[in-house]
A and B are shown apart, each in its own frame.
Chain A
Amino acid sequence: MTLDLRELYREAILDHNRHPRNFRKLEGADRTAEGYNPLCGDKITAYLRIENDRVSDIGFEGSGCAISMASASMMTESVKGKSLADVQALFERFHQLVTQAPSAPPDAGTVGKLAAFAGVREFPLRVKCATLPWHTLRAAIENRPESVTTESGPASQPALPPSASPATDDLRRHVIEALRTVYDPEIPVNLYDLGLIYDIVVAPSGAVTIRMTFTAPACPIADVLLRQVDKTVRAVPGVTAVTVELVWDPPWNRSIMSEPARLQLGLI
């Protein structure tokens, strides 16, 4: 299957690559940070001025591929004037937009023009290009001096689960316990034992990625349940970020349920 290049390189991305906005060293910046992906060679410096917990001005310099340059350019436009809390929320929505599984319905409504990056998720190798400016921005806000990269860790290798360690194993157990408290209101068995959770990946950073499904694609309360899963896992101490990916392959069937669940439903 030929992937549609126009999905990746949408007109807005091409335009921002040709004419990057706020491409300048910001005089009077009180925060700067550098992002560098050594394998690609993509490099960006973000300059910020923060007043009253608000990004009052922002600029960037650097060189890199069209995705990274356009992402930096559009990022500066979309965070200028916003409160730090709003920027953080936007960071998370953007991250979700470019990393969620291709089968999940795009949730682009809340990111404005940044929705142009929705196609990036079809090109896993390019996710790190789109997220580099955002991680650099966050480092600048948090005043972290070390250079940032998106070439290691889950952002650059979405297909590879991070290696397990005792710490991530523990956290994974707590995530499972939390998931056992989430119920579909029509079924008296929690989502985990129902077999709806296909995969839980815990990164050493505390970022949790959950792949899950529903009993039927037309599940009327899918949205509510997804949000509930997200909220519940986010509340587990030690979890720093949550990504919930909705998948339909393999389709759920009764044999996936745990034995106690089948007992409870009287199926055994």
Chain B
Amino acid sequence: MRSNQDRTAEGRSPSRPFDVQKIRGDFPILKQRVHGKPLVYLDNAASAQKPQVVIDTLSRFYSTSYANIHRGIHWLSERATEAYESARVRIQRFLGAAEASEILFVRGATEAINLVAHSYGRTHVQAGDEILISTMEHHSNIVPWQILCEATGAVLRVIPISEEGELLLNEYEQLLTPKTKVVAIVHVSNVLGTINPIRRIVELAHRHHVPVLVDGAQAVPHLAVDVQALDCDFYAFSGHKLFGPTGVGVLYGKAALLEAMPPYQGGGHMIQSVTFEKTTYNNVPDRFEAGTPNIAGVVALGAAIDYLSDIGLEAITAYEGELLSYAMDRISKIAGVRLIGTAKDKAGVISFVVDGVHPHDLGTILDNDGIAIRAGHHCAQPLMSRFGVPATARASLAFYNTQEDIDALAAGIHKSIEFFR
């Protein structure tokens, strides 16, 4: 796995030997047995497991520091506010953002994209304008833009991909026109594992003064991301795929864009003053965080990020790269297996179909051996039709997976082929 982004990561990743067994010890769920077999968890692209420190942070925060934030003048509220805002600063550093106020807390990547489609979209997109997405988008980066198009009369245009699952950059350049108002593109595909050349995509869009939203849900667990180096305008990710709790996510937006955007939801905390005649909205980021947020979730996401930073994203990328090569090699050698997504630049996702074995039957056989994979369309139906398959099986890696996990998967695939022969 290589990333072709220019990035500066100095001071962020202490280099130390990568000890996968020690890391596995940090994740209590991995000790579990399923149907009497040791759990082999290869469904990380759907959601990642949680290290003990994240679980403990949730429990400790509720036990010692919990109150509503930004409201009370009492000690606990101050303490909770501090924990919440310090998570914002840690995420700012994690993404390399210029300001902490450029980090908005939302429910997940889906809400982040909806926020931009709604708030930025409805003020900047008109009938006849075009929104550019790609064939490999997750439904969460398709449907919000379709809703926007329906409301405004704009048109959705789709960048095609190659047989290997790589974006066709020439076609992309052709699609960028004065009509283009937003480019929304996935950083790492949840089905193909393709790492898109975001730096290049942004550069081309900016020549036309078009802002770029990047769906980073599958990227942040695998690669170090620097939003300033990428120069993207919005970056969205979910906490639960980054070893944090469910129900919390992040939208990064460039300050100048966020400040010009109207609120997405109305309510408490997002206002400066309210009368029935006129409400003055609060500043960024508060304007976009109406109501009581997922306070404990944000704090625990901060703990997950500390945990990852301690191991070092570079070390994680390097380890997963080797594991992915090993897995691609093992799986592709099985007769009757077709890999879907063979991009040169690829993160830890292996999608495949097996002759004569439907993905769901494969899923059932593997589950019986304690191996968790995903079978289905992975919320990317347009991509499934691009490759002419109704569904695929998908094994997705995290840094706690091992070669033994891959060996178990390969054995399970062999067993399924035997079974249905």
Task: Name A residues whose Cβ lies closer than 8 Å to a Cβ of B.
Answer: 1-3, 5, 8-9, 14, 17-18, 38-43, 63-67, 123, 125-126, 129
Digit string of B351-383 for contact with A (CB within 8 Å is 1, else 0)?
000000011110011001000000011000100
* B360 and A65 contact, CB distance less than 8 A: yes
Question: A18 to B390, alpha carbons, bound, how many Å?
Answer: 18
Complex Cα spacing A1 to B420, Å: 23
- Give Cα A123 to B360, complex, Å: 12
Interface set, chain B 39-65, CB cutoff 8 A to A: none
In the complex with contacts A1-B35, A40-B376, A66-B420 CB distance below 8 A: yes
Q: When the two chains form their complex, are residues A5 and B36 in contact, meaning their CB atoms are under 8 A apart? A: no
A176 to B37, CA, bound (A): 44
CA distance A42 to B361 in the complex (A): 12
Asked whether B419 is an interface residue with its Cβ less than 8 Å from the other chain, the reply is yes
Q: Are B361's CB and A65's CB within 8 A?
A: yes
Let me know if A41 and B384 touch, CB within 8 A: yes
Chain B residues contacting A3 (CB-CB under 8 Å) are 35, 368
- What distance in Å separates the Cβ of B366 from its nearest Cβ neighbour in chain A? 11
Cβ contacts under 8 Å, B296 to chain A: none
Residues of B within 8 A of A18 (CB): 420
Q: How far is the CA of A9 from the CA of B35 in the complex (A)?
A: 17
Number of A-B contacts (CB under 8 A): 53
Is B391 located at the chain interface by the 8 A CB criterion?
Answer: yes
Known A-B contacts: A42-B390, A65-B359. Give 18 more (CB < 8 A): A1-B36, A3-B368, A5-B365, A5-B368, A5-B419, A8-B364, A14-B419, A17-B420, A39-B377, A41-B376, A41-B384, A41-B390, A64-B358, A66-B361, A66-B420, A123-B364, A125-B364, A126-B360
Known: A3-B35, A41-B384. A67 touches B361 (CB 8 A): yes
Contacts of A125 in B (CB 8 A): 364
Chain A residues contacting B420 (CB-CB under 8 Å) are 9, 14, 17-18, 66
**Is the Cβ of B36 less than 8 Å from the Cβ of A41?**
no
B412–chain A nearest beta-carbon distance, Å? 12
Q: Which residue of A lies closest to B379 (CB)?
A: A39
- The reply to whether B390 and A43 contact each other, CB–CB distance below 8 Å, is yes
Bound: A17/B360 CA distance, A: 13
Q: How far is the CA of A227 from the CA of B131 in the complex (A)?
A: 61
* Closest-CB distance, B359 to chain A (whole angstroms): 8
In the complex the two chains form, what is the Cα distance from A108 to B260 in whole Å? 67
CB of B390, distance to nearest CB on chain A (Å): 3
Closest to B415 in A: A5
Chain A: minimal CB distance from B356 (Å): 8
Least CB distance, B383 to chain A, in whole angstroms = 13
Contact of A40 among B35, B37, B381, B391 (CB under 8 A): B391
Asked if residues B364 and A41 are in contact (CB atoms below 8 Å), the reply is no
A40 touches B360 (CB 8 A): yes
* B36 near A129: Cβ-Cβ < 8 Å: no
Q: Which of B384-421 contact A (CB under 8 A)?
A: 384, 390-391, 419-420
Decide: B368 and A2 in contact? CB cutoff 8 A: yes
Contacts of B35 in A (CB 8 A): 1-3
- Considering the complex, give the chain A residue whose CB is closest to the CB of B389: A41
A213 CA / B207 CA spacing, docked (Å): 72
- Of chain B, the residue at the smallest CB distance from A5 is B368
Identify 11 residue pairs between A and B in the complex whose beta-carbon atoms are under 8 Å apart, listed by A's number: A5-B368, A9-B361, A9-B419, A39-B376, A40-B391, A42-B390, A64-B390, A67-B360, A67-B361, A125-B364, A126-B360
Report which of A2, A9, A14, A41 forms a contact with B391, defined as CB distance below 8 A: A41
Chain A residues within an 8 Å CB radius of B384? 41
Q: Smallest distance from the beta carbon of A50 to chain B beta carbons, Å?
A: 30
**Residues on B with beta carbons closer than 8 Å to the beta carbon of A126:** 360, 364
Question: Considering residues A17, A40, A42, A67, which has the most beta carbons from chain B within 10 angstroms of its beta carbon?
Answer: A40
Q: How far is the CB of A120 from chain B (nearest CB, A)?
A: 11
**B389 smallest CB distance to A (angstroms):** 8
| A165 and B147 alpha carbons, distance in the complex (Å) | 30
Contact status B360-A129, CB under 8 Å = yes
Q: Which residues of B contact A40 (CB under 8 A)?
A: 360, 376, 391
- Inter-chain CA distance A67–B361, complex, in Å, is 8
CA distance A9 to B421 in the complex (A): 12
